[in-house]
């Protein structure tokens, strides 16, 4: 999560919202009118489609709850949900809790040396084989966590055509929480690529990454399909009922203010992108200097880095389960999932954290258990994050090199 707070226009909006008596009470279950109206205005431009604030927008407790809601409201026992692997770990959990079955299709193309995220591809014939009349949903994520891949309009258009042919019943849940964090390309909302994509897609967004307020937990779904939206709204009413009014009012103001000049940039979003791009370039170089092979991300704020076969980082990967952790477990200080005890990437990340003081996420968490063993992308990489202050990134670099 971002290592800094939100910009002043966001906190100022919160102070104003907190002083209004109206925000002390429940908001409308579909979302505060001010936020729905701001979302409708802003996304009509971005998605190039008319968006009705009354009908097409639903506010949620962050994108996480939007994803869980969509699964709970739409997926029934026996339904299949297709995930592109590696997949953000929350998806498989939400599908399982709804009684559905996840079906995995891999992103291919990671090289043994440095790879650009745009070289990762989804093989449409593999996706086609994974689709069936039981496919209820396909979950997409662009910009992608953990690889930083950003799907192009051409890729998404071909995918939309395949769904038309092979799975016309399939709902697309499109997780676009990193929409503004794109570096050498444009973000393409899946719903914007064709008329049928528009009909079948629930587009999920979050204020968390955009305004550096992950702790606020405010997200929203944009969907043109009335029947799907009705099911989501009913389920939302019985679980969450209503999202924090005061936060919604503040985010509504922030969405409008973000389109005006900020810190010498034409908009806040351009400032944000420039800041993240610099940090991306720095961390990509830092992991390369440490002898690792990065997947250079085109979006989001992660760098997946491959451990080379030799050198100091390789030694950490080969060191096995750290003895110091053994002690902490014996003392009852921590618990671990016993299934991860011998996992190479978990042990690499444990040793990086304990030995170098640089924490990373083990990518096998983004694969189903059957696809972890022997899978290079799952076992030979670590996921670093560059949403950190420059001094912290510099410190990480020097610790890598020690």
176 binds ligand PMP (CB under 6 A): no
Query: Shortest Cβ distance from residue 330 to ligand PMP (Å)?
Result: 32
Tell me, residue by residue from 182 to 201, as one string, x for binding to ligand PMP by CB under 6 A and - for no binding. --------------------
Bridge partners of residue 258, in order along the sequence: none
142 binds ligand PMP (CB under 6 A): no
172 binds ligand PMP (CB under 6 A): no
The answer for residues whose C-beta is within 8 angstroms of residue 65's C-beta and 6 or more apart is 217, 219, 240
219 binds ligand PMP (CB under 6 A): yes
145 binds ligand PMP (CB under 6 A): yes
Tell me, residue by residue from 81 to 120, as one string, x for binding to ligand PMP by CB under 6 A and - for no binding. -------x--------------------------------
Residue 198 contacts residue 192 (beta carbons within 8 Å): yes
For residue 44, the number of C-alpha atoms closer than 13 Å in the C-beta half-sphere is: 10
CA distances from 8 to 123, 218, 266 (A): 44, 18, 17
**Contact with ligand PMP (CB under 6 A): which of 63, 191, 244, 352?**
63
Residue 261 contacts residue 42 (beta carbons within 8 Å): no
Q: Which is nearer to ligand PMP, 145 or 375 (CB)?
A: 145
Q: Which is nearer to ligand PMP, 189 or 208 (CB)?
A: 208
214 binds ligand PMP (CB under 6 A): yes
Q: Which is nearer to ligand PMP, 30 or 59 (CB)?
A: 59
C-alpha to C-alpha distance for 278 and 387, rounded to whole angstroms:
11
Segment interacting with ligand PMP, rule: CB under 6 A, options 31-39, 62-70, 240-248, 323-331: 62-70
**Contact with ligand PMP (CB under 6 A): which of 2, 6, 31, 62?**
62
64 binds ligand PMP (CB under 6 A): yes
208 binds ligand PMP (CB under 6 A): yes
The site for ligand PMP, by CB under 6 A, has a size of 12
Exposure of 21 by Cβ count < 10 A (0-12 exposed, 13-18 middle, 19+ buried)?
Answer: exposed
The answer for residues whose C-beta is within 8 angstroms of residue 125's C-beta and 6 or more apart is none
Q: Which is nearer to ligand PMP, 198 or 383 (CB)?
A: 383
17 binds ligand PMP (CB under 6 A): no
Exposure of 158 by Cβ count < 10 A (0-12 exposed, 13-18 middle, 19+ buried)?
Answer: middle
Residue 290 contacts residue 110 (beta carbons within 8 Å): no
203 binds ligand PMP (CB under 6 A): no
Q: Tell me if the bond preceding 86 is cis, omega within 30° of 0.
A: yes
Adjacency order of strands within the sheet including 115-116: 115-116, 293-296, 302-306, 381-385
Note the residues at the interface with ligand PMP (CB under 6 A). 62-64, 88, 141, 145, 175, 177, 206, 208, 214, 219
């Amino acid at each position: 999560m971002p290592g800094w707070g939100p910009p002043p226009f966001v906190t100022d909006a919160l102070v104003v919202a907190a002083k209004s008596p109206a925000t002390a009470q429940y908001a409308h279950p579909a979302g505060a009118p001010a936020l729905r109206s701001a979302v409708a205005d802003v996304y009509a431009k971005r998605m190039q489609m008319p968006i009705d604030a009354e009908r097409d927008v639903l506010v949620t407790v962050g994108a996480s709850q939007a994803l869980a809601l969509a699964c709970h409201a739409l997926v029934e026992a026996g339904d299949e949900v297709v995930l592109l692997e590696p997949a953000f770990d929350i998806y498989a959990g939400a599908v399982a809790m709804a009684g559905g079955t996840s079906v995995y299709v891999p992103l291919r193309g990671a090289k043994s040396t440095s790879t650009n995220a745009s070289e990762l591809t989804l093989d449409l014939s593999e996706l086609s084989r994974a689709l069936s009349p039981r496919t209820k949903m396909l979950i997409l994520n662009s910009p992608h966590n953990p690889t930083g891949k950003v799907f192009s309009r051409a890729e998404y258009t071909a995918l939309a055509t395949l769904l038309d042919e092979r799975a016309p019943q399939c709902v697309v849940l499109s997780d676009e929480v990193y929409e503004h964090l794109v570096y050498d390309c444009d973000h393409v909302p899946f719903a914007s690529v064709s008329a049928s994509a528009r009909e079948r897609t629930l587009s999920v967004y979050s204020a968390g990454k955009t305004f550096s307020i992950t702790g606020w937990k405010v997200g929203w779904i944009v969907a043109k399909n009335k029947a799907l939206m009705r099911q989501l709204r009913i389920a939302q009413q019985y679980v969450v009922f209503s999202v924090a009014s005061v936060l919604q009012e503040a985010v509504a103001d922030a969405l409008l203010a973000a389109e005006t000049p900020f810190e010498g940039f034409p908009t806040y979003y351009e400032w944000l992108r420039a800041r993240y791009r610099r940090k991306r370039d720095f961390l990509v170089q830092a992991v390369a200097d440490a002898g690792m092979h990065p997947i250079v991300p085109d979006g989001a704020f992660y760098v997946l880095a491959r451990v080379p076969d030799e050198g100091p980082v390789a030694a950490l990967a080969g060191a096995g389960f750290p003895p110091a952790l053994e002690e902490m477990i014996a003392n009852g200080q921590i618990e671990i999932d016993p299934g991860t005890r011998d996992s190479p990437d978990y042990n690499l990340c444990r040793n990086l954290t304990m030995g170098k003081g640089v924490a990373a996420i083990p990518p096998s968490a983004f694969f189903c258990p059957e696809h972890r063993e022997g899978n290079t992308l799952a076992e030979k990489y670590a996921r670093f994050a560059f949403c950190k202050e420059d001094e912290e990134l510099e410190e990480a670099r020097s610790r890598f090199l020690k």
